[in-house]
Structure 1
Amino acid sequence: MSRQQRESLEHLLRTGPLDLGGDVTEQRPLLEALLTAHPLPADVTATPTLLGGVEAVDVSVGGDPGAAAPVLLFLHGGAYAVGSAVGVAGMAADLARRAGTGAVSVGYRLAPEDPHPAAVHDALAAYRGLLGRGVPAGWVAVGGESAGGGLALALLVAARDAGLPLPACAVLFSPWVDLTLSGTSTTTKAGVDPALDAAGLARRAADYAGGADPAGPLLSPLFADLRGLPPLLVQAGSHEVLLDDAVRLAGAAAAADVAVTLQVTPEVPHVFQGFAAVLEEGASALDEAGRFLRTHLRR
């Protein structure tokens, strides 16, 4: 793998204008501009829709957008305060292409305007809406990156507790599953993480919790009862302050008898999969995720 690619990406992230802990009214358009700077591939269509009453984007890669196929329900990151369904459509398409699925990117409500449990309610409503379209649960995979990874895990817990049939599997990229920030990597990896810091995450955690206990099982699903959940693939980079979230989640899932695969890629940053076009490690991780989805989705 290319050290030069990793160093170039680190420089980009360290010198860029984004500040996850900054004023959301300033950071939201900055992130949106970055995520949508490059057009989607010619064979990808992204169509606004409503899913269970929640704003979403239907993403189709090649072929007939209405053709029956398994579906990836994807939840964007952004510390529950920034990001959008449109902004992450490219990543959802990259993963769907490798998995041979369609995708729906969910635009859940954001904090601080809409704190917890708004995002969980929206994710669950979108999943119900997908089932309501006639998509069997065994044809659904859930995916998410960063806060979206934590929300994807919370969705699985909420769906199980609601008695719904569960998706076939879930793919979690650099998931933020502990809003109490109790992982040691928040300090031990602070010097090598070019994108995130504990102070900024703490501000966003307080916004999202809205006065609720940040250790609650749907806020920090690391501490939830994970029994009965479908197979999980957890990917993270070794150069991120949330590394311990991924590692501890894999341990907690294994202890709860959940089939879980943990993949940690050395010397890459938070959600490195989003840079697959310029980082070989990102493309390889998406390839692995695509194989995982193909293995677990029933056809």
Structure 2
Amino acid sequence: MIEPIIFFSKLAFRLPYSLVKSWIGGSFTELGSSKAIARVFLSEFAENLDPVTLKWVVNPVLHSANLLSLWWLGAAGSDGHLRWLYQEEGAPVLLYVHGGGMCVDMFACSLGYLKLLKQEIGHLSIAIVDYSLCARYPQAIDDVWTEYKKIIDEHNEVWLMGDSAGGNLCMNVLQRCASEYTRFPEKCVLISPWLNVTKSETSFAHPGTNDYLTRNQLAMFKNIYAPNGSHQDPFLNIEANFDEDVWTTVLRHTKFIVLCGSDEILCPEILRLCSRLAKVDDDRVKVCMEPQGVHCNTLLFDAWDPYAERSSFPEILRFLRSDFYEKA
């Protein structure tokens, strides 16, 4: 098993080079040192990661970090694939679906952000779906759907939130709600959703983009999750197979906020989806474009300073709070 050795050797060689290159290129001045260093590290990590290192090194380490983070938060407990962070009687439930290409065990990266939402909103329950990783399509969808149905059976108000691949899984829950005549969530927050898993993007990135997420990384996730997936499958390629009738039904019941970084490689497909949703019902869709934002920008950087000038955290908070205090 030489792959992990190769992976860490590449990081040891390439990280210093890329940091110096970024500094010379002015990124440290333009973005600030913390953001510039984080972007470089994530870019090198993503570009060089391989399936073997992911399975035998990265995910076990991340799983341990998840357990420590849940302990640190004093999490409320678990039930099947659900990990309860906070439980309050009669409170709306925010069901969070983490990203990671359906392969990376990284929900701990979102815990600080979710804690901030809890602190600001107050009366709120939060649960994370710890779905099966590196499993073949549609296992992850089935896991999230099972937990969603349990939540809506037991709670009056449910909100969905997902980043990257988690955004894809949230959209799949909504499509299943429409096809199986199941109760919809009242709100859905999508952060940099990965909308087209197997269909290649023709306009993958803006000129000069410096997103850390790479085409090679997306291809690796796709080959693990759905190696033989059809381009015509609307549960794999949501934007490419947009069904206006389905999403008309969804928007009748669910309001959206969609966040997208201007520098991320998924930006074109996200903006196309938002345009199509807005044509169905513009009043039910809010788009938040993050200047110089990379993939999942708000999760990575806004928790450091949630009310900074370019932070998207206030937009999500405002969206989740809307209509809430009117009902109280």
Q: TM-score range by the shorter chain?
A: 0.7 to 0.9
Determine the structure 2 residue equivalent to 1:261. Answer: 286
Say if 1:296 and 1:163 are closer, same or farther in 2 by CA, change over 3 A. Answer: farther
* Contact 1:147–1:175 (Cα < 8 Å) also in 2: yes
Determine the structure 1 residue equivalent to 2:53. Answer: 26
Say if 1:242 and 1:90 are closer, same or farther in 2 by CA, change over 3 A. Answer: same
Determine the structure 1 residue equivalent to 2:78. Answer: 49
List gaps (5 residues or longer) in structure 1.
Answer: none
Secondary structure, aligned partner of 1:264: strand
- TM-superposed CA distance for 1:152, in Å, is 0.8
- TM-superposed CA distance for 1:276, in Å, is 1.9
1:59-78 → structure 2 map (5 Å cutoff): 59-60=85-86, 65-78=87-100
Q: 1:125 aligns with which of 146, 151, 160?
A: 146
Q: Deviations over 1:210-255 (max 9, x none)?
A: 3121441111222232222211100011111011122111112122
* Contact 1:177–1:220 (Cα < 8 Å) also in 2: yes
* Contact 2:161–2:188 (Cα < 8 Å) also in 1: yes
CA distance in 2, matches of 1:7, 1:273: 17
- TM-superposed CA distance for 1:117, in Å, is 0.8
Root mean square deviation of aligned Cα = 3.1
Say if 1:206 and 1:40 are closer, same or farther in 2 by CA, change over 3 A. Answer: closer
Taking only the aligned residue pairs, the percentage that are identical comes to 23
Does residue 15 (structure 1) correspond to residue 35 (structure 2)? The answer is no
CA distance in 1, matches of 2:133, 2:36: 27
Q: 2:105 aligns with which of 62, 83, 93?
A: 83
Secondary structure, aligned partner of 1:18: helix
CA distance in 1, matches of 2:323, 2:99: 24
- TM-superposed CA distance for 1:278, in Å, is 3.1
Q: 2:222 aligns with which of 205, 208, 220?
A: 205
Say if 1:131 and 1:175 are closer, same or farther in 2 by CA, change over 3 A. Answer: same
CA distance in 2, matches of 1:18, 1:169: 33
Higher Cα Rg, which structure: 2
Q: 2:81 corresponds to which letter in structure 1?
A: E
CA distance in 1, matches of 2:179, 2:155: 20
* Contact 1:237–1:243 (Cα < 8 Å) also in 2: yes
Say if 1:268 and 1:277 are closer, same or farther in 2 by CA, change over 3 A. Answer: same
Q: Which moved more, 1:28-37 or 1:213-222?
A: 28-37
Considering fraction of residues, name the structure with more helix.
2
Determine the structure 1 residue equivalent to 2:20. Answer: none
Equivalent residue pairs, number: 284
List gaps (5 residues or longer) in structure 2.
Answer: 1-27
Q: Deviations over 1:83-130 (max 9, x none)?
A: 24455333333334334422111011122xx11111111111011111
Secondary structure, aligned partner of 2:137: coil
Which of the pair has the greater relative contact order for Cα pairs under 8 Å at 6+ separation?
1
Q: Which moved more, 1:210-219 or 1:66-75?
A: 210-219
- TM-superposed CA distance for 1:75, in Å, is 0.5
CA distance in 1, matches of 2:34, 2:315: 23
Determine the structure 1 residue equivalent to 2:258. Answer: 234
- TM-superposed CA distance for 1:66, in Å, is 3.7
**What TM-score comes out, normalization by structure 2 length?**
0.76
Q: Deviations over 1:8-41 (max 9, x none)?
A: 313322135622672244236547549949x769
- TM-superposed CA distance for 1:56, in Å, is 2.1
Determine the structure 2 residue equivalent to 1:181. Answer: 200
Secondary structure, aligned partner of 1:161: helix
Secondary structure, aligned partner of 1:165: coil
- TM-superposed CA distance for 1:6, in Å, is 4.7
Secondary structure, aligned partner of 1:12: helix
Say if 1:214 and 1:42 are closer, same or farther in 2 by CA, change over 3 A. Answer: same
Say if 1:248 and 1:14 are closer, same or farther in 2 by CA, change over 3 A. Answer: same
Say if 1:86 and 1:279 are closer, same or farther in 2 by CA, change over 3 A. Answer: closer
* Contact 2:78–2:84 (Cα < 8 Å) also in 1: yes
* Contact 1:76–1:144 (Cα < 8 Å) also in 2: yes
- TM-superposed CA distance for 1:3, in Å, is 6.3
CA distance in 2, matches of 1:15, 1:84: 16
* Contact 1:56–1:85 (Cα < 8 Å) also in 2: no
